[in-house]
Amino acid sequence: MFYKHIPIPVILEIGNQLVEKIPQILKDKSFYFPKIVVFTSSFLGNRYADVLEKIGALKTIHVNEASILEVERIILENDFSADELFIGFGGGSVIDVVKLISHKTNNAYLSVPSTLSNDGLYSPISRLINKSGKKESYGVTPPLGIIADINIIKKSPKVNILSGVGDLVSNLNALKDWELSNQVTNEKIDNFAVSLSLLSANSILEYAEEDLKNDEFLITLANGLVISGLAMVISGNSRPASGAEHLISHAIDELYPEDSTLHGLQVAFGQILIEQVFLGSSTSKVQEFYKNIGLTKILQANINFSDEQLENILLLSSQIRKNRYTVLDNISISNISLKSFKL
């Protein structure tokens, strides 16, 4: 018999008042770490000081930015030992930094998101600013576990939650690109990863804007983002959750960093752009869902590019990853029209 080795999380806890219960959760799972190091932002460290104190951490390290330089600074300033458990408590920036530090030091870590802005809470990828000032993706080891405290997540900004919605639902476009590549280039598809990615994206499509801060929706979104991350771990790459819409987001970061916004918002924008301009769909189930859940309004308020800028974005998008076939390769940029595009 032949099997694929998949590093799935040993711990997955989604519910209320969980952060202060981390020591008990570890004990229940028969894990013992003599030292715990918490990584968080100064804002969250102060806001949840009483909660974090109950973890009994050896120390708390404040993460100032999501960059390679920050990773190197923290490693240089701290003499980490192999028996320390890292806890990344924060948004995507904090968790991405902890991911790469853990990968470099070979320490186990827990992902404890303070919001649900993207699928980075459990994915084999860390996206950080490199030494050239550009965002870059780095392969990392997935976490030992994920602990999502809905009571804390519920207090995060609405725009962050909607960003997570966009990142998850954009899987639907990524899967279309994967299938297209299979047809055109014979790229292999991992059907198990496809099933998980599809399941995770579809899990939230029936919710509306009034659901954004209720427990049922947030638990469903958290589970969806975890499953999306697992799909990437299974496939061994980001294909199940990253297609042309992610290339568009990367191009925005590269060309117009001063106008960039949350990653999940940008990929949702890219998804709509692809549906309308490349696929000729002025309306779709996804676009209606984005309107119903309030994401379209957020996109209109946060993303505004001229036709010339959009052409530049699309041109660069088609050149970013030439080894990843998408709809951007299937239809010439010179043959598309942006006149009908409207959020």
From the list 81, 73, 94, the residue with the least C-alpha distance to 35 is 81
Helix axes 68-77, 92-105, angle to 10 degrees: 50
CA distance 81 to 101: 12
CA atoms within 13 A on the CB side of 28: 9
Residues in the chain: 343
Give the contacts of 138 (CB within 8 A, at least 6 positions apart).
Answer: 100, 103, 125, 126, 127, 128
103 annotated as a binding-site residue: no
250 annotated as a binding-site residue: no
CA distance 13 to 56: 19
259 annotated as a binding-site residue: no
* Residue 334: its H or E element: none
317 annotated as a binding-site residue: no
DSSP 248: H
96 annotated as a binding-site residue: yes
CA distance 25 to 13: 9
163 annotated as a binding-site residue: no
Number of C-beta neighbours around residue 173 at 10 A: 29
CA distance 109 to 89: 11
Tokens coding 20: 């202060």
Q: Distance between terminal CA atoms of the chain?
A: 51
Phi, psi of 109 (to 5 degrees): -145, 155
C-beta of residue 271 within 8 angstroms of C-beta of residue 156: no
Amino acid, res. 192: F
Per-residue burial over 284-310, b = 16 or more CB atoms within 10 Å of its CB, e = otherwise:
eebbebbebbbbbebbeebbebeeeeb
Instruction: List the binding residues for glycerol.
Output: 119, 167, 246, 263
Instruction: List the binding residues.
Output: 92-96, 119, 123, 167, 246, 263
Instruction: List the binding residues for NAD(+).
Output: 92-96, 123
